[in-house]
Amino acid sequence: MTMVGGFDVHRQQITFDYVDDDGLVRWGQIRPATLSTLRRWLSERCPDGDAEFALEGCTGWRYVSEELAAAGVRVHVGDPAEIAALRGRKKRAKTDRADARLLRTLLLQGRFPESWIPPAHVLEIGNLGRLYCTLMDERRAWQQRIHAQLFHQGCPPVKALLSARGREALASAPLSPAGRQYVDAALRRIDELTPEIDALRTQLVDFARRQAGCRALQRHYGIGWLCAAIMWAEIGDARRFTSSDQLVRDAGLDVTVHSSDAKRSPGHLSRQGSPDSAATHPRQPARRAPHQSSCHRTSSVDPDKAGRRHARLSSRAPHSRTGGSRWLELQRLSLVPPDREYAADPPRPQGRSSSLRCGRSTLTPTPLHRPMPGMGNEAKPQNNDQRIPTFTGVPDTDKDSSMPQTGTWTGDPVWLVDVLRAEGVNPIEYPGWRDRGHGDFKDIRGVMVHHTGSDSASAASIAQGRPDLAGPLSQLHIARDGTVTVVAVGVAWHAGVGMYPWLPTNMGNWHLIGIECANTGTSPTAPHRQNWPDAQYFAMVNCCAAINRRLAQTSARTIGHKEYAGRAQGKWDPGAIDMDILRRDIQDQIGRVAKPAPTPRPPLPVGEYADILLFRGSEGPQVAQLQRRLNEQGAGLVVDGIFGPNTEAAVREFQRRTRGLKVDGIVGPATAAAPRLKVGPGPE
């Protein structure tokens, strides 16, 4: 081993202390503590990755551990509290170098308190779950401030503040001018938070419905889809625990009971483990142990203390039973495959962009936990297929999306021209397409469709690339007149950073055939096929169907760039394309359905409501009519004909209270035709 050392990570610098293969101890600092600086330091000090480094699981551990793993360095992350305990009593002032030296010493001595490093997909869902809890806490705090202001000014209490009746009561409350301004400001903050909370809830629920572990948790009484996703992320790999007691204690579900000398309220959860996991776990009433439970103690033991100790054990029993059954089921399901290494994502063929960590929290990182007994400090092998899905809620109908899935063809798709011609497409072969690419494909798992952003983008621009991104940028190019050009047969830079259920995170380029269509995309909310000529659209359908059929896949293996990279990169291509409709058209072209189709959407109303689509930014008499209809439901909107954030919040509230409507803040045909709304296409 060339280098063994420790990293003491701080916001301004990373202090290192390592011993090289000659036995020389070297130390210094990496400034500033950024991804690029660390990457440059690693390329200079250990270009071959023959090293081991240890660091504490404090803020910043994630990007350091990921970059170390990407460079081939073996990473060890430890529990800060246990590392501090191993240091012992300090005899002199603690310094950053002393901390780094301690980490290196513990690692060399084999005493480093190894922690489990969650894989990327668990970290991402954990971050989303914590963000959801934070936003909910903030919205709850604003509601509590409103209640406090009402009480402070002697107003009667108002229940259900956010309902239409509650807002009416607030509007008529006898508040002072400053109090009225206070309440109005609080309501505006709540209205701003609500769309963010709804979107996060939808993402987490969509993930939970796809993930096998979340589905197992949801089957237990008291656990919904949202709680299942958060608990799954906070618990992590259940096989780390040798008993259900360990899982209960780790998750902070150890319930205490009331004692006369206690300083906490009865039934309070112990302050251990993840607060988010504890908050989402269904609570059961705490039970005090029988009085005779302490009678078998010797006289040297204080009976009161013994009784309290037995009471704590008894009160934990309900959670131990429920947590234990889930622990056994999670272990049986093997939520994270046994051949997965949790140190980091696999090394990429090229240096990773800083955008890979766009979702990393700047707050306290996800708690790290000890690996299973007997694992020692050895890294677990890795399977890179278990990844979190896209957050658009699009079902994968051909396979269970929660399981690792691979393609039926490994290597470059040299058959592209042949299968396209068999489909009735007459492709143009761009010069050199057989030799063009950024390396060889891994197993091909599907197709990704894009728009170029310009109606005039040519196949040459896809083959040659841009100044900031070398070509090829996809395998196929489709012009507006339906002309299909085969640009490359090797890997192309078209997918970038993102994730999808059956894809390794950020590895779409190596598993997906890309199709770039010369189209502006119009806008993220444009109706289906706006500005998409029939020739171009059906050429895309035929190409996707030909590739899916060649790979023995259904149309579920055709995805949009927005479904893969929408959250990671803000992508919305292909614009003006409803991916569900596109997949349905592709499946019709394929001519067979491998598995039953998903439950169809409710039929959209026809007639006067068929063409209605109102969303944020819309203006005109229809919006004014919508605002008047919402005011009849108690929304309290200003009728100005402008679809702003307040109107969107009122629409979401209406959709939430109306059975069968999707809560998205958009007034489409179904929402417009709702019995209590009836927004027509013309003036009232």
- Give CA–CA dist 455/428, Å, rounded: 19
Domain 409-590 and domain 607-672 have a common topology = no
Query: How far, in Å, are 83, 355, 549, 553 from residue 423 at the CA level?
Result: 63, 38, 10, 15
Is the four-CA dihedral 401, 407, 413, 416 of positive or negative sign?
negative
Pick the CATH number of 409-590 from 1.10.390.10, 1.10.10.10, 3.40.80.10, 3.60.15.10: 3.40.80.10
Pick the CATH number of 3-109 from 3.30.420.40, 2.60.40.420, 3.30.70.3290, 3.40.50.300: 3.30.420.40
Instruction: Enter the DSSP assignment of 399.
Output: S
Summarised one tens digit per residue, pLDDT across range 351-388 is: 333 222 233 333 333 333 333 333 333 333 333 333 32
Tell me if 334 sits within 8 A of 239, measured CB to CB.
Answer: yes
What CATH code would you report for 607-672? 1.10.101.10
pLDDT of residue 137: 94
Give me 292's structure tokens: 């005779």
Q: Does the pLDDT at position 537 exceed 50? A: yes
Residue whose structure tokens are 């890179």? 384
pLDDT of residue 410: 83
Overall residue count recorded for the chain in this entry: 684
- Give CA–CA dist 604/290, Å, rounded: 61
Instruction: Tally Cβ neighbours within 10 Å of residue 305.
Output: 13
pLDDT band at 567 (very low <50, low <70, confident <90, very high): confident
Residue whose structure tokens are 């171009």? 536
Summarised one tens digit per residue, pLDDT across range 422-444 is: 899 999 999 999 889 988 888 89
pLDDT band at 303 (very low <50, low <70, confident <90, very high): very low
Summarised one tens digit per residue, pLDDT across range 69-127 is: 888 888 999 988 888 888 877 766 778 888 899 999 898 888 898 888 888 888 899 99
Instruction: Enter the DSSP assignment of 616.
Output: T
Instruction: Tally Cβ neighbours within 10 Å of residue 364.
Output: 10
pLDDT of residue 327: 52
Q: Does the pLDDT at position 209 exceed 80? A: yes
Residue whose structure tokens are 């994270």? 336
Instruction: Enter the DSSP assignment of 634.
Output: T
Tell me if 572 sits within 8 A of 562, measured CB to CB.
Answer: yes
Find which of 33-37, 140-144, 259-263, 276-280 is predicted with most confidence, using mean pLDDT. 140-144
Summarised one tens digit per residue, pLDDT across range 481-516 is: 999 999 999 999 999 888 888 888 788 999 999 999
Query: Cα-atom radius of gyration of the chain, to the nearest Å?
Result: 29
Each domain of the chain, given as residue ranges in start order, spans 3-109, 120-210, 231-333, 409-590, 607-672
Give me 214's structure tokens: 């979340």
Give me 185's structure tokens: 């400001």
pTM summary value: 0.43
Between 612 and 553, whose confidence is greater? 553
- Give CA–CA dist 346/507, Å, rounded: 10
User: DSSP 3-state assignment of 544?
Assistant: helix
- Give CA–CA dist 204/221, Å, rounded: 19
